[in-house]
Amino acid sequence: MKFAKTLAALALGAMAGIALAVPAMSQDGKLIVIITPSHDNPFFAAEAEGARSKAEELGYSTQVYSHDDDANKQNQLIDSAIAAGAAAIILDNAGADASVAAVQKAKDAGIPSFLIDREINATGVAVAQIVSNNYQGATLGAEAFVEAMGEAGNYVELTGRESDTNAGIRSSGYHDVIDQYPDLVMVAQQSANWSQTEAFTKMESILQANPDIKGVIAGNDTMAMGALAALEAAGRSDVIVVGFDGSNDVRDAIISGKVTATVLQPAYRQAQWAVELADKYLKEGSTGMDEKISMDCVLIDASNAEQLETFALAE
Amino acid sequence: MSTVSATLKTAPAGNASALLLVLKLRTFIALIAVTLFFALMAPNFVSVANAVIISKHVAINAILAIGMTYVILTGGIDLSVGSIVGLTGMVAGGLLVHGIPLPMLGVIVYPNVIEVVLISLLVGTAIGAINGLLVTKLGVAPFIATLGTLYVARGAALLLSGGATFSNLVGRPELENQGFPVIGSGTVLGVPVSVIILIIMALVAAYVAQRTPFGRKVYAVGGNERAAALSGVRVDRVKIAVYMISGFCAAVVGLIVSSQLVASHPASGNTFELNAIAAAVLGGTSLSGGRGLIGGTIIGAFVIGVLSDGLVMMGVSEFWQMVIKGLVIIAAVVLDQLQRRLAANTRQG
């Protein structure tokens, strides 16, 4: 971290902001606009980077934006994309219902949208919706959790933001597996809103109420890391932790034996695939595939953690 | 409220003063009430270990609320503290992981943990000074000035890492920058370091507010700014100082939070300012300035902390936790209004 550099960057940032607002048309006018949730979650940063690099490799110019899970901001960004004359939009949307109108607006303006990571509650509006199979991923994580627990013992579940569809899908995937084992008892279930800080404080309180726990299963990796920090502060290295996403932090914790497993959503590859489909659609008028495409998740444990880097598994 | 004041007016003087006493001690009574409630309802709530954990959680909000109380006492508000928490945490994390590169010398300087702490505190205090200058010299309303720095500091925190987390802040032996996790997870005789920091800061803050000329000036500025200025108080200096105190407090919290997680996340501290304001108001600080006590704020922070930890231990859903917290804050303000009316009536009677 360089203070001088940061100061300069802050000043430049203001100028860059102005520069970005001007449509960056490439010579053939083909622009791909990439819109994801905030990049402060490395998962979305990997998604944006995957889409950007593939688009530039295929000769498109790009604009990368973040809607910060605000449907209103997303709506404005789509307006800007329409105004900029985008050829296609790659979107990780800000809400299954709240995003339908915005995607429809792009379609009406003749701009095809390619959705990644999250679905919208409408078909025929976006050209493609590539979604990780969160349910399948959750059952993988739950199976690894059950095995590490030895099919018995008290455990805690930390769930994601309760208004987020994926939080519910993952939780039900976990329970469809774990609830088959009557000796596995959930003693506490709390939402930590995907947040590391919240997972830390809540885990500390839960540990007080229930010192006799054997495992923690978290709806994403940042919450798993928060829970791990609380367990370590309490000297509880015996507790089994399982996460979801496949972040580099959890990968390192798996390698050092602190976390049992996580589930990788191939965010980087998924975003690249969306751009490939967009390219095909723009050239041939069709992606040649159904609108809804499901990508399977992969279990990451001690056996393959070394191959994981920024949400992509080396082959 | 008209029916309430009507009842109050007809109430006998003896009952009124007893009621007034209860209202004055309302935050303390609320703290005892919620503690008793959870002692009965939540498993393992009554234990030394849990008291330690709750104090640790309260420390984060209470330290912010100390600075916030000073600002509110002058009639201001500081919305930027949550973002300063995020930014100072990122500054500390960045210094530990990447050091300070000096390209002209071709070396990277890695400050030790003490230096990292000092630089982070300086950054927080400097942002507080900017807030103070905006409010005094440029005449920007505190709400707007600190709303501006809220965005700037959060954006700067994200820029420092491009949005990524600085993780594994344990330092490296060859760089002699180990020891950072002590702030968040260290203990002295079983008491967490963060709680010791809270105790020291609360005692100093209470002493300064009640027993020093500076403290009296803070109350004077909030009570009647014009009168304070006419009696020779340098209002601008006092105001700049309180925003610097608030920035400093936020930097302390930034260090504690990133040390606890052994990682600094740029979104850390989001909406912390609201909890700090809630603690101050709950503790009887008047948002119009000039009235409030550091001790009240600390008790207010404990009410919020006991409430959120207790509800988690009972397994109450996140949605209900938010509703209950909101209702408690509203109740506190309603009781505050009630106390003031009653006090006014008693004086008249």
**DSSP run (H or E) holding B29:** helix B26-41
Does the distance separating the beta carbons of B156 and A204 come in below 8 Å? no
Q: Are the C-beta atoms of B111 and B151 separated by less than 8 Å?
A: no
Q: Are the C-beta atoms of B279 and B301 separated by less than 8 Å?
A: yes
Residue B303 sits at φ, ψ, to 5 deg, of -60, -50
Q: State the greatest distance between any 2 C-alpha atoms of chain A, in Å, as a whole number.
A: 64
pLDDT: which is higher, B21 or A152: A152
**pLDDT attached to residue B2:** 41
**pLDDT attached to residue B7:** 43
Q: Are the C-beta atoms of B163 and B154 separated by less than 8 Å?
A: no
Nearest to A246 by CA among A290, A301, A168: A301
What chain A residue is nearest to B158 in terms of C-alpha separation? A40
Q: Could you report how far apart the first and last alpha carbons of chain A are, in Å?
A: 33
Q: What is the ipTM of this complex?
A: 0.76
Residue of B160, B266, B313 with shortest CB distance to A1: B160
Q: Is the pLDDT of residue B12 over 80?
A: no
User: Domain residues of chain A, as ranges?
Assistant: 3-126, 134-264
Gap from A124 CA to chain B (nearest CA, Å): 34
Same CATH topology for A3-126 and A134-264: the answer is yes
Does the distance separating the beta carbons of B156 and A208 come in below 8 Å? no
Instruction: Report, as an integer, the average pLDDT of B330-334.
Output: 86
Look-up of token digits 């295929």: A58
What percentage of chain B's residues is helix, strand, coil (to nearest 5)?
75, 5, 20
Q: Are the C-beta atoms of A252 and A84 separated by less than 8 Å?
A: no
Q: How far apart are CA A79 and CA A66, in angstroms?
A: 14
Q: What is the pLDDT of residues B245-258, one digit of tens each?
A: 999 999 999 999 99
What chain A residue is nearest to B163 in terms of C-alpha separation? A40
Secondary structure letter of residue A124 according to DSSP: S
Q: Which of A194, A203, A208, A231 to mutate to test the interface with B (most CBs of B within 10 A)?
A: A208
User: Which tokens is A240 given?
Assistant: 């089994």
Residue of A195, A202, A229 with shortest CB distance to B312: A202
pLDDT: which is higher, B112 or B12: B112
Q: Which residues of B touch A38 (CB under 8 A)?
A: 163, 267
Nearest to B201 by CA among B269, B250, B134: B250
**pLDDT attached to residue B14:** 64
User: Which tokens is B23 given?
Assistant: 């209202």
The three-state secondary structure class of B101 is strand
Other Cβ atoms within 10 Å of B227 Cβ, number = 11
**pLDDT attached to residue A209:** 93
Does the distance separating the beta carbons of A193 and B267 come in below 8 Å? no
Beta strand residue intervals within B113-214, DSSP E: 166-167, 187-188, 191-192
Q: Are the C-beta atoms of B280 and B300 separated by less than 8 Å?
A: yes
Residue stretches of chain A with pLDDT short of 70: 1-29, 315
Nearest to A179 by CA among A163, A155, A211, A148: A155
Q: Could you report how far apart the first and last alpha carbons of chain B are, in Å?
A: 20
Does the distance separating the beta carbons of A39 and B313 come in below 8 Å? no
**pLDDT attached to residue A28:** 57
Q: Worst-scoring range by mean pLDDT, A104-108, A299-303, B6-10, B314-318? A: B6-10
Look-up of token digits 């209860």: B22
Q: Please, which residues bridge with residue A299 across strands?
A: A263
What chain B residue is nearest to A249 in terms of C-alpha separation? B167
Q: Which amino acid, residue A138?
A: A
**pLDDT attached to residue A29:** 60
Q: Which residues of A touch B160 (CB under 8 A)?
A: 1, 6
Q: Are the C-beta atoms of B209 and B294 separated by less than 8 Å?
A: yes
What is the CATH T-level fold of the domain B28-348, as seen in this structure? Answer: ABC transporter involved in vitamin B12 uptake, BtuC (1.10.3470)
**pLDDT attached to residue B8:** 43
Residue B108 sits at φ, ψ, to 5 deg, of -115, 125
CB burial of residue A26 (10 Å; 0-12, 13-18, 19+): middle
**DSSP run (H or E) holding B326:** helix B318-348
Q: Which amino acid, residue B153?
A: A
What chain B residue is nearest to A226 in terms of C-alpha separation? B261
Gap from B98 CA to chain A (nearest CA, Å): 6
What per-residue string of b and e applies to B200-222 under the rule 16 or more CB within 10 Å gives b? ebbeebbebbeeeeebebbbbbb
Q: What is the CATH number of domain A3-126?
A: 3.40.50.2300
Q: How far apart are CA B60 and CA B195, in angstroms?
A: 9
**pLDDT attached to residue B11:** 47
Q: How far apart are CA B281 and CA B276, in angstroms?
A: 9
Q: Does domain A134-264 have CATH number 3.40.50.2300?
A: yes
What per-residue string of b and e applies to A6-19 under the rule 16 or more CB within 10 Å gives b? beeeeeeeeeeeee
Q: Are the C-beta atoms of A194 and A223 separated by less than 8 Å?
A: yes
Beta strand residue intervals within B112-196, DSSP E: 166-167, 187-188, 191-192
Gap from B100 CA to chain A (nearest CA, Å): 6
Q: Which residues of A touch B317 (CB under 8 A)?
A: 162, 191
